[in-house]
Structure formats: structure tokens, C-alpha cells
Structure 1
């Protein structure tokens, strides 16, 4: 108890340092514990969406798990069914998932069904027992069967379609015969599913048309006793909304578990159905990828937190070195001294362990609301919940943090008073060569990684994922370059000092002396600032580059915000009827054959006549900013210079409207794409061709190409420009044996005059503030039948809500905010303690007559030469890191467009704002502290 009292008293005497240490532990535990929490939450959200889509696409409940086993005649089917039922109950309970339905379908051997007088056979039938069937049906005619069979008559219910198919009526007895066994059956009611969407009816009632449904109790009473079972199907419908990541391994083992356990009971094969097993197995891999990426993104922040904890711990130990030396001189062992600090640290770490994971849940919600680097939007909150894995990660974080904090304690716990004085003397002139070695090693590792990635072939996967090492290596480069500069900076500082030694004023002279002689004490703070700003600038550039490249790829492939195919009225049906009447007559004679062929050709031509619907409704929509007509011909033939090209695409456009509507990045072509459209406007017969057309036909600007469509439609065009990219045109072939895609862009009126009127697509540019709901409603009001519509907005939303970009944007944004907070606290803590330790020095300066302005000037210059210099170097390091490492991200992405490294000034301004705010607030607090210093305090301190 006395020891705890001493520890709490010591913590109170150093309450600011203790709070700072606790804050570092708390943030570390929160960040680390948020990794599994976020992974589980975001993958659960994506899994539920994918399962919902599976249900829509397949019209099949995705939570179904069922298996069926058959029985041989000489096998004890009843006993086997009971054993399998127990196995099924145990297996399903082990999944720890709520069930929406759980039933057993028991089927008898097939019976011959006769009318009551046995005069004629009425096909075959089985008797089926369904668990709790009466709770899931509605009787449409008749009544429910009696609970027990009376007079040997088995009452059954059947689907409505059974009566018509078998030609029977309700309450008419039937005879069921199987070998020597004869049963009397009476259908007493027809039924239908109470709710067609009930997972219970994975096999709909219509599938039981050839069967007779018997209540479960009656079934067991009659068919179990007579050993008439043919098969048993065990069905479970899991609530897939409750499936979390921890459930996936057990769900994936269900198939093998069932087959292994049931095979011990019956020899016949077990057929298992679990439609979503492939979806679930893919999420195990996604979980590992996401965790790896989050760890790699958190590494720089965790390194900063480790340095922060080390710095705070060292400050605590340095302030208490005298106490430690006294204890050591009086006989206290190193273990006893470390025990005091370990208990103190255990109290803080235990508190952080208890509340840190809950704060980690809040961090996960912040992650789910990001839309870019330091961009937050209103979005449906992630369904976060704490699991055992979160506390496991928190425990690892606590143990690692305690180890990091105890290093300075271990170093200082064996110092006597003599050792303390000797170390204080050596600290003035000691040079840390280890900093140089570590910095060069980290730079070497990162440069080697850069070389390895530059020699790696691009990815072939279309998944949105990035190698997490691409975030880890740049962090090493930032730290390594920062350490190298920290080692060289004292030399630079000494050189500048000597150059202007005769000219420096009092403030600068004093600052150069102070920083030059005690530079070691500034290293941690300066490294903090370099890392925070450098990694922040790299993170902003990486996030912006990846977001923009993914988004541009989607916009480019779609061509515009919305593309629509509208059904055009035509005479196709009428022409087909005429064609049928001509070709279905008698065979033409030899003399009539030519006339018949001409008639068929004429009919075929008439069926291609279309009537153009009005385009005005699209222009008048209040949600639409611009609209354009885009005609696409496929399967066209072109000739030039004796060469021919088949199966390419012709795009007919109106240049001005197309420029206003389509999306296209100006950086994709040598000149702005408007200049190419201006070329089309100069001459109606001019075209733009893809480079693949130019190579295939051997043509260049100014050459003519003959384009042939179906039948006799032809046009001659002149090449005005060669392009590599064009809205919605994908220039890369997907398979090695495919021909390179080819495109000719021409003027729409010219194409229509030469090739005839054909249905064109409608491209829309939607206003930024327009609601998609209002847009779709306006499209419905046009009353033009829409065959196909492609809207880029849902794809962009899905992209932003995906696990990869959510994790990337959220982690980078959160990491930078945490880094700024840690750097600010470290900055403030360092300088407050520094000023308090210099009260005597500043008091002597004031007593010597140095005015307060000069004293503040000394502090300001000291800030410039340390924090200011570190911030400036951080900006440079961040820029260099971005230029070197951001281009590597294209290796993990497969896309049609060339990869572009994007620097957005708005992102960097946010970083500069945070840093400027931190330095301004910190400097203001320091100035206020200096103003409060009184001369008598310095004199009293000197006397002490």
C-alpha cells in the first residue's frame, strides 16, 4: 500500500507528463484495436450487399444450407434419420448464427396410386413430411388434416395444382400400394405458401404437385413404423445479415463436416447444397488483404506513436534522474527501481486497454465517412462491434508500448549520482553516429524496394487493390531521409553560424549557441514534424492519385454521366410478315427464281427503316445540363491503299454537343481534345481514327478511307486526326488472340446521309446538384421505351463504398490527423518543459537588461531553426517521396487509361493549415509562458 501511495504521489507531481504518456498509450491501443473492428465491419457490409444482390440475380435465398441423404431398403432408415437429425442439430448450433427457418423434409418410397375401386391407376406418388408445415401455409380449400389417422385413413393436403393434374376431388379416398402394403389416403385440403418470400419455401409448394403432404406427427406414426423412408433432406436458412467474419471459417467447413459425420451413419452419398460458399471463401482472402493493407497504412503512425512514447518516457526519466540516482546510491537495485515505473505504467496501460477499443469503434465510424484524403461525407454508418480479436490486438499494442516505454527507464535505472554528472557532461559533445547509420540503412532499403517494384510486371487483376508494401517503403524513405538530414543539420548550422558570426544580433547569436550545443534534445521533435508532414504529403498524393485514377477509369468507360438506348419505332414486324409470306409460298420455277430473290432483297431492305423519336424531351429535363446524340456502328468494313479492315466501330457525333456532354481527360491526347473536335467541325467528311486503324490500313492525316456498311451503303471520308483514346473506346485488347479494337469518329449528319438512319445512343451530362431519383422520374415521363441505361453514379458510389478505398481514404486521413495531434502534443510538451527548465537562464537574461521583445525573439528564432526547419524539410521530403513512389501504384492496377500521378494543391493546403495552426498555437502558448517569468523566480531558483 505504501508503494502504491508513493507511485500515485509521483504521478500527481508529474501529472502533465503522466497524462501525455497515457494519451500516447490510449491512442496506440485505439488505433491497433480498430484494425480488426474496421475489417470485420466493412467486410460485413460488403458481404451483405453481395448476398442481397445474389438473391436478386439468382432469385434464391442466399442463407440456405441443405443436404439430402437416401436410404437403401434393407437399411434401418428410421434410426439413421434420428442420428442424422442429432448431427444436424449439433452442426447448425456450432455455427452460432440465428436461423430464419429449419426443417426436415422426409420422403417415402414411391407408391402406386389407385382410385378407390382400384379400376385404374393414377400415376405414382410419395408421401412427404415437412417440419411445422402448418405454420407456413394457407389453406385455400378444404381443411387441415386431423392430427391422428382414424380408421386407417391417412389425411393429407396437396398443392392446388394437384387436383387438376390427378383428376381428383377433395375428400375422395385413394389407394396407395407399395409391394404388399396398401394404404388409404384422403386429400382433405389444398394449400399455398403463406409468404412466398419465406425462406422456408426454398422448394416452392408447386414442386410438391406429385406428392402428398402429411403432418409430421402422423408421418412419424405411420411411415416410421413401417420403415418406408426413401430420403431425408435437412434444410436450414441462416440469417445472412448476421454473418460476421468470425462465422465464415465455420460456415466453409459445413460441407466437409456434414459429409464426414453423415457418412459414418449411412453408406449412400450425401448431396450438400450451399450456394454462397464461393462468395464466403473469397471473403477470407479479402479479409487478409484488407488487414495487411491497414497494418501497412498504420505502420508510419505507429512508428510515430512509438517515438512519442519513447520521448515522453525519456522526459519523465530525465526529470527524475536525480531521484533515481539517489535511490540507486542508497542501495536500491535496478529491479526495484524498474518495478516502481512498471507498476505506474501498468495502471495507465490497463486503463488504456479497457477504454481504448471503444474509442477504436469511434475511429471506425470516422473511417467509414471518408470520401477522399481529409474529405468526410454523410454516409450510412458502419455496423461496428467489438470482438475478441479487437482486444487481442489491443493486448499486443499494450505489451509493445510498455516495452517501448521501459527502454529509457532501463537505461536510467542504473545511474548513480556520479554517472549522472558524467553523462550530462558527455551529452554536450556526443555525436550520434547511429542516427546516420540507421538513416542510410532505411534509405537503402527503400531505394532497393523502388528498384524491385520498377522491374516488376504490371498487375493482371481487375480488383481494386494495391500492394501494401507500396505504403510501407515510402514511410521508410521519409524516416531514413529525415534521420540523415538530422545528422547533417548540426554541420549546416555550424557553417551558417561561422559565416555570419560577426553580424548576428543578440537573439540570433544566442539561438545559434543554444541549438548548436544542445541539438540532441531537439531531434525527436524535429523527426516528428518531418515524418508528419512528409508522410502527410505522400498520403495526400497517393490517395488523390488512386481515387482519381479509379474514378476516371469508370467515367471514361461509360463515356458520359448517363448513356441511354431508346427503342426506335420501325417496320421490322411488318417487314418480317411480308418476308414470311414471300418465302413460304411454292418453290419458284427456274424463270421465277430471279424475281423471287429480288423480292426477298427488297423486303430485307425495308425492315431496316426506323422512325427517329423526339430528342427534345432530353434537352428539356431540368436535371440535365447537356445532351448529345452518339451513333455507334459495329461490324463495318474499311478500305484504303489496297488494304482492308473488318469489324471495327464507327462513332457518329455532333462535335459541339459531344464536347459539352462527354467526359474526357485533356491529358490523354497530345493536344486538348476540343482541338480534335474542331477539326471535325471544319469538314463534314472528316474523321478521327484510332492508331490501330492507322496501322492496319497504313493511312495518315490527309488520306482517304472508303467505309462500307451493310448492303450497298458506303461513304468516303478523309483522315484529319489520329487518336489513342476517345470516350468509351477501350484501346487495349483483353485476350492475346483478339484483334486490337479500332474506331473511326465521324460527323453524325454525314454518317446518317451516307449510311441511313439508325438508332443512336443518348448521352446525358447531369447537373451536379441534381437528384438521381428526379432524373429517373423525368426519364419515365418522356414515355420513350428505354432498352438500356448506364449511369456512372452508382458505379462511383460502389467504388467509394468499397473496402479498398474506404480503408485507404479513412486510414490515411485518420493517420494524418492522429499524427498532427501527437506532433502537437509532443511539440507543446517539449517546449513547455524546455522553458520551465530554462527559467534561470531567461531570468538572468531579463536581469541583465535584455528586453522582453529580445527574449521572445530568441524563442522565435529557436522555433524557426528547429520546428520551422523541420516543417520545411518535411515538405521537401514529402514531395520527393511522392515523385519517386506514387508512380509505382500503377503496377497494382490494370486499367485502360495511362496512370497519372495527381497533385492537388487543396490537399497540400490542408496539411499546411494544420501545421501552421499547430506551430502558431504552440508558439503563442510559449510566449505567454515566457511573459510570466519573473526575475525573483530566477533568483530564488539560483539560491536553491
Structure 2
């Protein structure tokens, strides 16, 4: 019976199944996407760490120092730790093992050449031994040593540098002269070793530098002499494990940290904290990623809340349509003696079948969504990049099961409500078309708006504290509700507008009731008297369209503000530091000959020779260039005020063409301010922080200089709030606690003047070279040009590289991916819901439409009446959705800046609503309405009057 009922309502059941499976896919994609994006970023960060520190991130080194007063315990200590390192630790990291090296180091011993009576030839050295060393070296001279003494002499290897240090050659016999050695022990180097290849991971420091004062003994020999026979005092033992970090994913972090703690616990079980060493290169990066993972998961849930609420409305609407179509059947069953639990159980079985299938398929669809999200490079922008590491986990299926359970509960609510109605009550409800919806009775619209407004007020207060005190977003608790309140605002606004909408229809009907054509007159009566029938559809469309607009605005805003912050902070496409020839004394050479270690006194003033600027303008791809001088610790005096400021010197014409600046930051464009000061060489612009804190005004004289340079007069021509690279927000005081309400010290201050005047009257000091690249120019060409021109560049800030790094940040990737997903799902679900509702509504009004045709209304008028009905319901809903989405964007998109560091959000966070996104929404909605009207018109054209009237007789 259940299967037959599902087949009879196959389109409704299919629509419900689509909603459930999309919900399960969306929720199950969260852990898959979170793990994939963090795995990618973890790998990238480890690669960057290797480039910066020149240390292999997949290496872990642990060692301990043997207690000198208990040599009898050395062997057991080593064996216990070695057993853990080679068994539990090696497999515990769950990464491909590349190398595993065990080393033993002896105490420093005194040596001399055999039969050499000269005491001056004595020297100190240690014995070192490495497991499997022979497989990773090649002999530059000599041969491999024997593992057993040859004629009472122990053979060893040395490096070429060690032979120089020991002032010896191969096959020289050395004798140990040390009180700790019983009897006579002879050593003979028989081979000179070097690395087998340059990319060997076997050597901890990448070279043989730590062997240059040691004799390298075969590991088996060292183990016997130092630990078993205790003939040579052992100092330390170490274990060097190298793993393929490129295979490390987020799922390995927990096992990595647990194995790290196992090694630490094992070492602490043998020695004290001061006698052990544990160095895992990737440990700090992994600890940071645990925090990032937690924040990312919180952000993903918050971003998905509006979409999940929308899907919940969709499923409730479809379930309500199913229940509405089957209310008569349910009422008949109740009148024939069926118990409520029996009816509910039959629908529960149907829901379990749909939810069970969704749990099986949803996570795999979620994995496909994750692949699409991984290719996002911005909102609705996809590029070809290496795919995210996708892995189906138990967590994904658990999340999917929980989502399916929530869907089951939502779909059962209308059924449970329908079973409470008897057949008499059902007939009475069918006769009463006008009824107040439940959410209006409970004032859910007012409650949702009140919560949303309170959340907005709380956010504004929190953001003001963050920026005024110079705090980071981590200094105050981030409330996840700050990301959920937009959904409450959208829902509350939609419900409130629908509360007022029937009154608007009545007013519209009253204004033109004498002039409306029959089709519009009938439509106004139909919609006005049956407004409650359209409530679900209208709320659903408002929420989906508003969610789409909000998602588009949020993604565009975050992307544009991130790019603006980087461009503003850098100042130009390329910023270079250049070497200037000067007469400053060279830095002292410590550790060299005494005559080189003498520190020469610095002159009172360092003289610089300015390098030629034209070669920079001739580099490939350069469009404009500018000289920018910055002095962080300059000082000023104006009237009774004085203090420290940042002084910038620029050439106004070159600077205006080279720099990037958002015009909306100032009252006038930046070029207007530059033109204002261009006519006078002593003109300067000052920051508003300087004007307000020190009382300096336009027209005042101001003295500028710095240490060792006499002050010179300038005149204030203008006051600016922002200037490229200048952050006017106060830094957080190092002595200020997070809960302090005191101001965080004075805000930074800036003075901008002419570079030529500063160089002429103050001093000639190095400046930066700012470059603007031509459209389409590549930095590779620029770098090649710098190398070919042999320009002495010490540092380069590349804005394009910084933008690429920012776009690869897991938070931005998650934001772009999830907001894109929310936008696409909103449009898709709204189209399915719209079409489904109207097709079912039209089928339900077949008799009414047949009667209208029978009394003389043409098909054209019927379609016009239907079109007007759609405009008054779906069209108005779309319009309200766009309005609500834009208002929600203006109010709540600024919430996203609290995820970043508000004290460094310069330029200020502004809401961006891209025209292309709105056009895309209008186009999709227009296509949806057009297709819907076309399908409904086709259905009306196929209507036969005799069939409709026969249906009424039945």
C-alpha cells in the first residue's frame, strides 16, 4: 500500500526526495570539505615552512642524554626507547617512512697519534655512529671500516674536514689517552666519506657538518663498545625519523600529535626533561591548524545555517502539499476506524525509505559538491586547480544521518497535524479559505526580527570595542549567532511583509474595482480570499531569493575587501628595497682574526649615493614607477605640540599614477589632494589622527626632522583619513589586558611631503621603488628583467603573490565555496519549489478553470489571469526577496569582518553588491517565471471543458 501510494504521488515524492538528499549532501559535505581544505593548506604551509627554514617538515628528531653516574642502566634505557621508536612511533605517524636513523655519541675523549711523544699533537674528539650509514654515503678515498677490530685496532670513517682538523692522513693510528678508558684502545681512519647524493634525507642537517670533529664508527661496533661492554663512555642516543609530509592530510594530525606525545612520554620515563630533546619540525604548524580547523568548522556551520533553514522550509512546504493532497484520504481512514498511530506509521515508513536512500547517496553527492567547491577561486568563479583530497569518512555519514533524521521530523509534522482532523473538520476547513497562519498567531516574525536587531546591536558594540582598543578578534569571544542572525532577519522580514501583504491586495482591489478587467478582477479575489494558501510559497521564495542575494553580496564583499586590504597595505603592484652605496662601516666579523673583530665607530652622518632610477622603469611589464621614502621615527613640532610621526616623501605625479587607492576613502579623490600639494614644495598632508590628537589645522606651520637631522619648516595643505600603506587604527598596547577599557595609546600619525624637498633640506636616505605593472604583465618577466639588468634589489613585495596566498587561505576558500553553493542551491530549490507548487495548484483548480472556460473565458484570458496571479504571488515574492536580501546584506555582511583582525582592517570594510550577481539572479528568476508560465499555459491549453465538468460531477 505504501509503495502504491508513493507511485501515485511520484512527482511529489520525488520532489521531497530531492530536498532530503540535497540537505543530507550539504550537511555531509561539511566534514569532507573541511578536511580537504585543511589538508591542502597544511601541505602548502609545510612546503612554505621548508622554503623559509630550510628544514624538512617530515622529520622528527628525539634524543636523550645518558646519566653519567649510572652506566649500568645505559643498555636497558637505550633498548626500551629504541623498541618504542622502531615499532610504535614509526607506524604511529601513519605516513610513508622515508628514513629512520639511530645514532650513538660518546663522550669527548683525548687522542694522540701512536708513538708520537709530542703532547702538542693531542686533540679531543668524539665517536659517532649512525645506523645504515653505509647505504647513504660514498667513499671519496679509502675503504669501509671493519665491524671487528683488525689486529687490535678499531677502524673508523672520517670526513675530509676531520682529517684537516686532526692533522692526519688515512691509516694513521690514534691512541686514546683518557682516564675513563681502561687499557689501550687504538683507532685508525680507513676511509673518507661524503654524501651519496645532494638530496639525501638521511642526514639531519642536510650536510656532514656535525661529523667534522668525530670518528664515525660502525653502528654494531659502537653499540657493543658503548652499551654492552661499556668500554667507551656513551653520552647520548638519538632517533631521526623522516616521513613523506606531502602525504600528510588533516586526518593524520591526531595520530601525529598522539605519537609525538608517546615519544615524549617514553623519553621522560627514562630521563628528566632537561636530559631529553624532541624536535618535530611540523609540530608548531599542526598546533596552529587545530585552532584554524575549529574556527573553520564554526564558520562553515554558521554559513550553512541560512541554506539549511531554506531547505527546511522547502521540505516542509512539499510535505505540507503532500499532506494537503492526502488530507481527504487521511480523514476517510480516520472515519473508518484507523488509529492515528497506524496512519502516522505508514507515512513514517515512507519517510524512512526516502531518508535511508538519502543517507546512502547523500554523502557521495556531498563529495561531488566538495570537488566543485575546491575549484572555486571566488564567488561563482571556478578555475582548474589540483583537486581537494576527498575522503569518505564515518563523520560524513554520521552528519548525513543526523540531517536525514531532521528531515524526517520536518516531513512528519504536517502528517501528524493532518491526522488530528476528522472528516467533518476537513470539510469545514476546505470551506474556510481565509485563516490566520500559525506563525502570525505566534508572532514569529516579530520575535525573529527582534532577535536579529539585538544581534546587530551586539555586533556593532563588539566591533567598536575591537577597533577602539586595538584588539584582535580572538581577544573577545566570537558569538556564532552573529552569523545566524541574517537568516533570522530574512525570515522575520519576509513573514512581516506577508502579514501586511493581504491589506495591500485589498487596497489595490478597492482602488480599481470599477476598472479592472475580468481576469485581473478574478485574480485579485482569488489571491485576496486565499492568501493563506500562498503563504508557504511566498515565504519560501522570499527566503531563497534573499539568501541568494545575501550569499552573493557576502562573497563579493569579503573577496573585494581582502584584495583592497592587501593592495592598500602594499601600496603598489611591486615594492622593492634597493641597495644604496654608503660610507657606513662594515659590520664586525665575530670569530675571525682579532684585527677584524674591532668595531669601528659609526660616523655622525652616513652619506648615501642614490642609484639610478630609470633602469627600474625600463623593466619588462612596468607601466609606471615611483620613489617612496618612509621614515618611521621622524619627529615634528607645531606650535606647542610635538611628537613622533611617520614621514613619507613622494613625487606627486609619479606616485598618483603608480599607487592603488580606493577613492571612496577620502572626501575627494587622492589625485585631488596630490594636485593640491603639487604647486608648493613645502606643502604637506597630515593624517586626521595627527590633526585631532595634536590640534594641528590646515595652514599651520610644522617642523619636521629626525635623529641627526635638523628640523625644517613645512606647511599643512590638507588633512587625510587614509593614505597608501598607512594604518590609522591604534595598535594594542603590550601592557594592556584584553578586558581593559582604556584606550590603547595614541593612534599612529602620518605626514606626507615632497621627496625632493626632504632630500634637499633634510637628508638623502634610501627610498623604496614602487612599480605598477601593465595589464597582463607577469612577475616572471619582471624578475628575469631584474636579474638580467643586475639591479641590486634586497627585497621584493609582490602584490599578485600576496593576493594568490590570500585566495588560497582556507577561510576564504570556505567562504567562496559555501556561499557559491548556497547561491546555486537557492536558485535550484526555488525553481523546483515554484514549479511544483503551481503545477499542483493548477491541477487542484481544474474544475474552477473548466467552469471559467464554460462561461466564455478564453484560454488567452485564463493564461493572463494565471500570469497576473503569478505576478501577485511569485513576482512579488521575488521582488521582496531581492529587497530583503539587499537590506540584510547592508546590515549583516559587515559581521564577517569580525572573523578577520579588525585592528588591521584598513581600508574600512564596505559592502559590495556586484551588478553582475544581481543580473544573474534576475536572469535566473526571469527564466524560472517564464518557464513556469509556459508550462502552466501549456497545461491550460490542453484543458477540456467536458473533462473538467465530468470531474466535478465525480
Do the two structures share a fold, i.e. TM-score over 0.5?
A: yes
> Given the superposition, is the C-alpha separation of residues 219 and 355 from structure 1 closer, same or farther in structure 2, using an over 3 Å criterion?
farther
Instruction: Assess if the C-alpha contact under 8 Å between 2:863 and 2:940 holds in 1.
Output: yes
Q: Does 1:861 align with 2:872?
A: no
5 Å matches for 1:443-462?
A: 443-456=449-462, 457-458=465-466, 460-461=471-472
- The structural deviation recorded for 1:161 is 1.9
> Given the superposition, is the C-alpha separation of residues 108 and 565 from structure 1 closer, same or farther in structure 2, using an over 3 Å criterion?
closer
Q: Pick from 618, 625, 628 the counterpart of residue 626 of structure 2.
A: 628
> Given the superposition, is the C-alpha separation of residues 404 and 61 from structure 1 closer, same or farther in structure 2, using an over 3 Å criterion?
same
Say which SS state the counterpart of residue 201 (structure 1) adopts. Answer: coil
Say which SS state the counterpart of residue 834 (structure 1) adopts. Answer: helix
Q: Specify every segment of 5 or more residues in structure 1 that has no aligned partner in the other structure, as ranges.
A: 1-5, 577-583, 585-599
5 Å matches for 1:242-281?
A: 242-264=247-269, 269-281=275-287
CA distance in 2: counterparts of 1:711 and 1:332, whole angstroms: 99
Q: Pick from 423, 438, 443 the counterpart of residue 444 of structure 2.
A: 438
CA distance in 1: counterparts of 2:405 and 2:637, whole angstroms: 74
CA distance in 2: counterparts of 1:28 and 1:569, whole angstroms: 66
Q: Does 1:15 align with 2:26?
A: no
Structure-1 residue corresponding to 2:887:
880
Structure-2 residue corresponding to 1:478:
490
Which shifted more, 847-856 or 105-114?
105-114
Instruction: Assess if the C-alpha contact under 8 Å between 1:687 and 1:719 holds in 2.
Output: yes
Instruction: Assess if the C-alpha contact under 8 Å between 1:466 and 1:889 holds in 2.
Output: no
CA distance in 2: counterparts of 1:347 and 1:697, whole angstroms: 73
Say which SS state the counterpart of residue 154 (structure 2) adopts. Answer: strand
CA distance in 1: counterparts of 2:272 and 2:805, whole angstroms: 48
Instruction: Assess if the C-alpha contact under 8 Å between 2:604 and 2:708 holds in 1.
Output: no
Instruction: Assess if the C-alpha contact under 8 Å between 2:634 and 2:644 holds in 1.
Output: yes
Q: Does 1:353 align with 2:359?
A: yes
Q: Pick from 668, 671, 675 the counterpart of residue 678 of structure 1.
A: 675
Q: Pick from 79, 82, 96 the counterpart of residue 85 of structure 1.
A: 82
Instruction: Assess if the C-alpha contact under 8 Å between 2:58 and 2:245 holds in 1.
Output: yes
1:182-204 per-residue CA deviation (whole Å, 9 max, x = no partner) reads 44433222212224443321144
> Given the superposition, is the C-alpha separation of residues 774 and 936 from structure 1 closer, same or farther in structure 2, using an over 3 Å criterion?
farther
> Given the superposition, is the C-alpha separation of residues 558 and 325 from structure 1 closer, same or farther in structure 2, using an over 3 Å criterion?
same
Instruction: Assess if the C-alpha contact under 8 Å between 1:636 and 1:650 holds in 2.
Output: yes
Structure-2 residue corresponding to 1:581:
none
5 Å matches for 1:450-599?
A: 450-456=456-462, 457-458=465-466, 460-461=471-472, 468-569=480-581
Structure-1 residue corresponding to 2:739:
none
- The structural deviation recorded for 1:814 is 1.1
1:388-411 per-residue CA deviation (whole Å, 9 max, x = no partner) reads 222221121122212222222333
> Given the superposition, is the C-alpha separation of residues 699 and 125 from structure 1 closer, same or farther in structure 2, using an over 3 Å criterion?
closer
> Given the superposition, is the C-alpha separation of residues 152 and 355 from structure 1 closer, same or farther in structure 2, using an over 3 Å criterion?
farther
Instruction: Assess if the C-alpha contact under 8 Å between 2:552 and 2:823 holds in 1.
Output: no
Structure-2 residue corresponding to 1:918:
928
5 Å matches for 1:357-372?
A: 357-372=363-378
Q: Pick from 300, 309, 313 the counterpart of residue 307 of structure 1.
A: 313
Instruction: Assess if the C-alpha contact under 8 Å between 2:687 and 2:749 holds in 1.
Output: yes
Structure-1 residue corresponding to 2:98:
100
CA distance in 2: counterparts of 1:510 and 1:153, whole angstroms: 114
- The structural deviation recorded for 1:479 is 0.4
Structure-2 residue corresponding to 1:793:
800
> Given the superposition, is the C-alpha separation of residues 535 and 184 from structure 1 closer, same or farther in structure 2, using an over 3 Å criterion?
same
> Given the superposition, is the C-alpha separation of residues 732 and 495 from structure 1 closer, same or farther in structure 2, using an over 3 Å criterion?
closer
Instruction: Assess if the C-alpha contact under 8 Å between 1:373 and 1:907 holds in 2.
Output: no
> Given the superposition, is the C-alpha separation of residues 554 and 127 from structure 1 closer, same or farther in structure 2, using an over 3 Å criterion?
same
CA distance in 2: counterparts of 1:69 and 1:714, whole angstroms: 60
Structure-1 residue corresponding to 2:609:
610
CA distance in 2: counterparts of 1:124 and 1:396, whole angstroms: 69
Say which SS state the counterpart of residue 879 (structure 2) adopts. Answer: helix
Q: Which runs of 4+ in 1 moved over 6 A?
A: 462-466, 571-574, 709-714
Say which SS state the counterpart of residue 27 (structure 1) adopts. Answer: helix
> Given the superposition, is the C-alpha separation of residues 355 and 175 from structure 1 closer, same or farther in structure 2, using an over 3 Å criterion?
farther
5 Å matches for 1:309-388?
A: 309-388=315-394
Instruction: Assess if the C-alpha contact under 8 Å between 1:635 and 1:646 holds in 2.
Output: no
- The structural deviation recorded for 1:445 is 1.2
5 Å matches for 1:659-698?
A: 659-694=656-691
> Given the superposition, is the C-alpha separation of residues 712 and 351 from structure 1 closer, same or farther in structure 2, using an over 3 Å criterion?
closer
Q: Pick from 27, 40, 52 the counterpart of residue 22 of structure 2.
A: 27
Structure-2 residue corresponding to 1:590:
none
Instruction: Assess if the C-alpha contact under 8 Å between 1:639 and 1:697 holds in 2.
Output: no
1:35-59 per-residue CA deviation (whole Å, 9 max, x = no partner) reads 1111112222222222222222222
Q: Pick from 715, 718, 734 the counterpart of residue 715 of structure 2.
A: 718
Say which SS state the counterpart of residue 902 (structure 1) adopts. Answer: coil
> Given the superposition, is the C-alpha separation of residues 717 and 541 from structure 1 closer, same or farther in structure 2, using an over 3 Å criterion?
same
Structure-1 residue corresponding to 2:786:
779
Instruction: Assess if the C-alpha contact under 8 Å between 2:638 and 2:701 holds in 1.
Output: yes
Aligned length: 912
Instruction: Assess if the C-alpha contact under 8 Å between 1:297 and 1:468 holds in 2.
Output: no
- The structural deviation recorded for 1:694 is 4.3
> Given the superposition, is the C-alpha separation of residues 148 and 843 from structure 1 closer, same or farther in structure 2, using an over 3 Å criterion?
farther
> Given the superposition, is the C-alpha separation of residues 526 and 226 from structure 1 closer, same or farther in structure 2, using an over 3 Å criterion?
same
Structure-2 residue corresponding to 1:238:
243
Say which SS state the counterpart of residue 458 (structure 1) adopts. Answer: helix
CA distance in 2: counterparts of 1:840 and 1:301, whole angstroms: 37
> Given the superposition, is the C-alpha separation of residues 527 and 740 from structure 1 closer, same or farther in structure 2, using an over 3 Å criterion?
closer
Instruction: Assess if the C-alpha contact under 8 Å between 2:483 and 2:895 holds in 1.
Output: no
> Given the superposition, is the C-alpha separation of residues 674 and 466 from structure 1 closer, same or farther in structure 2, using an over 3 Å criterion?
farther
- The structural deviation recorded for 1:477 is 0.9
Instruction: Assess if the C-alpha contact under 8 Å between 2:576 and 2:795 holds in 1.
Output: yes
Structure-1 residue corresponding to 2:190:
188
- The structural deviation recorded for 1:467 is 5.8
> Given the superposition, is the C-alpha separation of residues 671 and 136 from structure 1 closer, same or farther in structure 2, using an over 3 Å criterion?
same
1:78-106 per-residue CA deviation (whole Å, 9 max, x = no partner) reads 23322222222214423322222222223
Instruction: Assess if the C-alpha contact under 8 Å between 2:433 and 2:529 holds in 1.
Output: no
Instruction: Assess if the C-alpha contact under 8 Å between 1:21 and 1:313 holds in 2.
Output: yes
Which shifted more, 659-668 or 812-821?
659-668
1:455-476 per-residue CA deviation (whole Å, 9 max, x = no partner) reads 2222622789986433210110
- The structural deviation recorded for 1:493 is 2.3
Structure-1 residue corresponding to 2:915:
905
CA distance in 2: counterparts of 1:527 and 1:20, whole angstroms: 18
Q: CA RMSD in A?
A: 3.2
> Given the superposition, is the C-alpha separation of residues 710 and 265 from structure 1 closer, same or farther in structure 2, using an over 3 Å criterion?
closer
Q: Does 1:704 align with 2:698?
A: no
Structure-1 residue corresponding to 2:427:
421
Which shifted more, 249-258 or 94-103?
249-258
- The structural deviation recorded for 1:830 is 0.8
- The structural deviation recorded for 1:807 is 1.4
Structure-2 residue corresponding to 1:593:
none
CA distance in 1: counterparts of 2:498 and 2:632, whole angstroms: 64
Say which SS state the counterpart of residue 845 (structure 1) adopts. Answer: helix
Structure-2 residue corresponding to 1:937:
947
Say which SS state the counterpart of residue 688 (structure 1) adopts. Answer: strand
